[in-house]
Each structure stands twice: as structure tokens, then as C-alpha cells.
Structure 1
Amino acid sequence: MGGVLASVAYLFFWPDKPPGAPTKENAPLSSSYFTPAAITSSETTGPDSKLIELTFPSHLLKSNAKDLSGFHPIWSIYVKDDDIQVERAYTPLEGIDHDGHMKFWIKRYPDGEVGRWLHSKNVGDSLKIRGPVTTWNWKENEWDEVVMISGGTGITPFYQLLHHVFTKEPPISSPKTRFTLLHSSRAPNLLPPSTMLETLKTYTHTQQDRFSLRLFVDSRQRETRSNLIGLPLSEGRIGKIEIQQALGLIPTASESWWWPFGSSSSQPDNSERKVLFLVCGPDQMISAIAGPMGRNLSQGDVGGILGELGYNSEQVWKL
């Protein structure tokens, strides 16, 4: 992920080595040095955004058994722009598979050097990567409810987490954590790629007791993609009401006709649940939802809507 995830890894888990870390050929992935990888796919998905696949030599994955157990969500890798010797962190959407493939949704920002550089590259080009670097450490069954709130490419760490949880083999026995994803984009044509949305849509069916999804756009003017995704789209920004609805504290529009006569299971008691909020997106959105980041990109105090609702620093994490 572009500028957002670039700050994420610097934010909480400072790189093990500075941008001048050495490059090692034919070595396993490591956060201590750079290793070569190749661009094996590049697809334009919207204005200034691409799905890019990088492939790392599978025989160099850690251990002869290609053990990927060390890649726990949420993690990212650094990509270095060799032209200006700048590195930025991006989140692999589905982690890394046994063949060394990693997929990224990358936006090109006017002031994002590495993003612009990646968009200029072609299939077959080589680049240098460093990682994995943990950006948030997921622990199974620690939380009853995880509410993820994202904007723009801030969805990528949450997509990685959901992919890990819902495709884990073997699946965790007696899972208890329920996930809600509230995602916002400025316009329909800036929503995540259809392949990502289709996967999330599938989760809403196959994991309907554990996952719910709501998509928001600032404006539906000149809408071009809603028929492609087949998912309901709300106009407006994620606010206090939408967060309360995600927790079942107040009804959605489709539920309001029976509220409060629904079953008790539809009205969870939040005082008895361990609830965690994960927020990732543009700085303005993070500030409005959870309060601004602190000094030197630390977590800072919980503010914004979540602070108003009474949540504390143990219940809110800003990515």
C-alpha cells in the first residue's frame, strides 16, 4: 500500500536496517537485506491504481519444506526504488504462496516516488524487496469482535488478515472472533478491484456468521462500477451511526422495521464482548474516526468518533 502503509511499518516496527541495507542474491527473504524479485503481472484497475504481482524464487523461501508459518498477518514488505534509493512498505493482499507469488494493490500518488516508479515498471522487470516486517500482530480468538475501518488502499492490511483467517489450513477449531469491514472510497471507480470485492462478497456468504461488509462512497455521481461488484453501496462517509450499526447497537435501514423486536442475538451486549477497532486510511480519515496519530507517528490518544463512543487505547489500533 502506498503512503499509508509506508508509514505503518516505520510507525510501529522500525526497519531492522536503514534504506542502505545490502542486497543479497540467492538468499531467503529477510528484513535485514534486500533480495531480487520479478514483476510477473501488472493490471490497471482504476485511475492511478494497479494490481501488481511480484514473484520471489520459491526455492529460496525459508526451509526446504517451504515453511511460510513465519508470515503472520498483518505484514508488509519494503520495495526499493533503485533510481533514487527510496524504499516504501506495501502489504501483500494474500500473503505469499508456496510458489513465491505476492499480489499488491498499489495506488500512484503525485508525491509517492516508489508508487510512481512501480507503475512505470513492466512484466519481467526485476526489483528489490526486503521483509517481511510485521505491522500488526494478529492472535487467534483474542477478540470477540474486530471492526476494521478503511479508506482507499487502507483496505489492504485488512484484506490480508481476512484471507489468512478464512483460508487457514487447517482451520482454527471453534473460532469465536467476528469481523466487520467498513470501507470507504471517494467514488465508485476508486473502489478496490473487482477481484478483491468478489472475494469479500464470497466471504459474506461462506462466513456469514463471522463476517459482514459495508461499502461507502463520498459520491455516486458518474457511477460506473456498482453493477460490476454486485454489492450494496452507501453514499456518504463512515460516521458514528455506521459504527454503532456495525456493533449492532442501532439498526440498519433494513432492520429498522422490526427493531427492537428482533432476537436477542441480533442485539449483542457490548459490555460483555472484547471489541477491537483497526483503522487504516488517509490521515484525515484516521483523525476523524480514531483521533490523529501521536508524535513521531506513535498511536496517540484515542479521539474522533471512537473516543466519543468511549473506546480506549487497548481497543483501538491505528495502522
Structure 2
Amino acid sequence: MPPFPNTGRSQRVFSATRAAPGVAGLLAGACIAAYFLYPDQSRSAPTSQDAPLSPTHFTPATLVSSETCNHDTKLMKLNIPRHLIPADGSLHGCRPIWSIFVKDDDIQVERPYTPLEGIDEEGNMLLWVKAYPKGEVGRWLHSKRPNEQIEIRGPLKTWLWNEHEWDEVVMISGGTGITPFYQLFHSVIRPAYPTSKTRFTLLHSSRTSSDLPPPVMMHQLTDYAEKHSDRFRLGLFVDSNDGSAAVASRNTFSEGRINLEAVRKYIESDTPQTWWNRAFGSSKPAVSPQRRILFLVCGPEPMISAIAGPYGRNFSQGPVGGILAELGCTSAQVRKL
């Protein structure tokens, strides 16, 4: 799946710097025409008023509320009628991470968003939406008012959860890339306690403390981490602390980016250290191929590249790079969302 939550398919940029002005104008016109006329899933999928929510068509949803969190994010609640909730149970219970696509009706473009708490029995979904300067759908969503209609399609499953596959799951996110991990927290991590044996770690980075997730998310995460540190660990990182975050005094908060030392600290905290390793370090990789640990990474592409290496062609996983490659992770131990 493309990077969450406000990026979809990559945009192609045509360069005609050496073309004559007239030729460049014709080519630019052709590109614009191709963009709007070339068949595209988001523009060709029909809208259904009566069929249950599905990836094959758009379903009208009603914007229930839109709450400003900071200068560029909003917490938005959508609702679909109860009879449009899929009856197969695919949206309830412990499930994989999933998302929906939201369509900008003005320019017929869609982008993926992850419902923070899935969908409840009343058909409500909560989205944390950032309006990027060049993000068409995010800015369009920010302009919508309660009771207006918004077309969505889905669910689209992103990652399958298997309780017995991993001993440890480390989630690393930046910005609104935390949304799939919060959904996993809500649907798997918290409900499965104390029966699950898997240990989870969430390392999240924001530019400033005011850019951290809204209190409705942060309170749940920090409270759970304090009460169940044996099962869930939380590390919050900001490039600069503007003093606006209530969590600034907690031991989960650090100033600085998620770097090699920060990740190593969390994944080695339970590994017995000999006096030799403490004094001189170890030449062995921190993550052996036999270790049943999985890293899930989601956020802006530069951050994903720095942590896990860039995506491959057409948003395929590509080889492991960045920090996780330095730690010795294999491709089987890393998933870029």
C-alpha cells in the first residue's frame, strides 16, 4: 500500500526545459488532458447508495464532526448507515490494519486514510487528517463541514496479524503515519491483554511537540504504556520541543529524531549484556536473522528511507536499508506500510 495517510500513487512530473515554448505548451496540455481523461480506478468506480461498504465502489458517508487539533491537522468523524456496514464481520474483532479511500469530488482524486479505531456498531469512523500544502484531498477534507457528504470506498487490508508469528513487533512512525499503528493498538494490542505473548514497541516522531497526535490518542497510548510496560513500550520523539505537549514530562518523551542509538536502546533493553559488551560494545548485529522480531515503518518517504530504506519500484518493499540494515534486519523482518 502507498505511504500513509495522505499520499497515494506517485505523481509523474514531465520536464520540457529544452523544448520550444510552443511545443512545451502542447505537451503540457496533453499531460493535463491525459490526467483527467485516462482511466483511473478512483474516477471509474461507481457510487452506490444501497450496497454495503466495499473496495469496488464508493459509499456516501456523512461528516459528523471536524475538530481542529493544530495548524494543519483535524480529527474528523465520518458515519455510514448501519445497514451499509459489511455483514461478513470483516470490520469487527481482532483484524489486520485496514484503510479506506476518500474521494475529492471536485477533482476526482482519492487518497487512503486509516480509521483510528476502525468502525463501531453505529458506523462511525474517526480520521486524523493532515492538510499538506500540495495535498489535494487533505485540504479538501479540511474544507468540509458537518452534515456534508463524503464518498469513501474500502476496506483495503494493509497488514495481516498472526498472534503466533512474532515475539516482538516494533512500530516506527512519523507524523500522521502513526494512524495504522493506533488502529493496531485499538484492535489488537489492548484487547488481547493478557493472553497475547507478543511484545509491542511504538516509536513515534513529530517535528514539534504541538504536532504530536491529539490527546484522544496520546492519553490512551501513554496510560497503557505506564500500566503495561511489560507488553507495550512507547517512545515519543520531537525535532524541537515547543512546550505545548502535556506528555513532555513523561519518561516516554525525547528531543531529537529516531536514530540508530534510539532504536538499538529499545530492542536491546531486554538482552543480557556482558561486562565486555558494556565496556567495548559488540561486533554482532543487534538483530539476528533467527530473532522473531518485526519492524513496521510508516510515515513520510524521507523518514521511511532513513529508517528502513526507500520503497522499490511501484511502492514495492524494496531492499532493507537505513538504520534497520545497520542493525542487521532481513527483508522478512521489515515491512514498510
Q: TM-score range by the shorter chain?
A: 0.7 to 0.9
- Give the SS at the match of 1:88: strand
Partners of 1:87 and 1:239 in 2: CA distance: 33
Query: Which structure is larger by alpha-carbon Rg, 1 or 2?
Result: 2
Partners of 2:319 and 2:287 in 1: CA distance: 25
Following superposition, the deviation at residue 165 of structure 1 comes to: 1.1
Partners of 1:231 and 1:28 in 2: CA distance: 45
- Per-residue displacement from partner, 1:116-170 (whole Å, max 9, x unpaired)? 00000011111110000012222223110000000000000000011111343xx
> Structure 1 pair 70/3, CA: closer, same or farther in 2 (3 Å)?
same
Aligned residue number for residue 316 of structure 1: 334
How many pairs align?
296
Aligned residue number for residue 274 of structure 1: 292
TM normalised by structure 2 equals: 0.80
TM normalised by structure 1 equals: 0.85
Aligned residue number for residue 55 of structure 1: 79
C-alpha contact (below 8 Å) 2:43/2:109 kept by paired residues? yes
Partners of 1:125 and 1:229 in 2: CA distance: 40
Counterpart AA for 2:55: S
Aligned residue number for residue 23 of structure 1: 47
Counterpart AA for 2:185: L
Does residue 293 (structure 1) correspond to residue 316 (structure 2)? The answer is no
C-alpha contact (below 8 Å) 2:298/2:304 kept by paired residues? yes
Following superposition, the deviation at residue 232 of structure 1 comes to: 3.8
Aligned residue number for residue 104 of structure 1: 127
Aligned residue number for residue 265 of structure 1: none
C-alpha contact (below 8 Å) 2:308/2:323 kept by paired residues? yes
- Give the SS at the match of 1:141: coil
Counterpart AA for 2:130: K
Following superposition, the deviation at residue 205 of structure 1 comes to: 3.3
Aligned residue number for residue 132 of structure 1: 155
Does residue 79 (structure 1) correspond to residue 102 (structure 2)? The answer is yes
> Structure 1 pair 244/250, CA: closer, same or farther in 2 (3 Å)?
farther
Partners of 1:157 and 1:241 in 2: CA distance: 25
Q: Percent identity?
A: 54
Following superposition, the deviation at residue 6 of structure 1 comes to: 4.7
C-alpha contact (below 8 Å) 2:97/2:183 kept by paired residues? yes
Gaps of 5+ in 1: 11-15, 252-258, 261-267
RMSD (CA atoms): 2.8
Partners of 2:219 and 2:150 in 1: CA distance: 30
C-alpha contact (below 8 Å) 2:6/2:113 kept by paired residues? yes
Partners of 1:9 and 1:202 in 2: CA distance: 36
Gaps of 5+ in 2: 11-39, 272-276, 279-285
Does residue 193 (structure 1) correspond to residue 220 (structure 2)? The answer is no
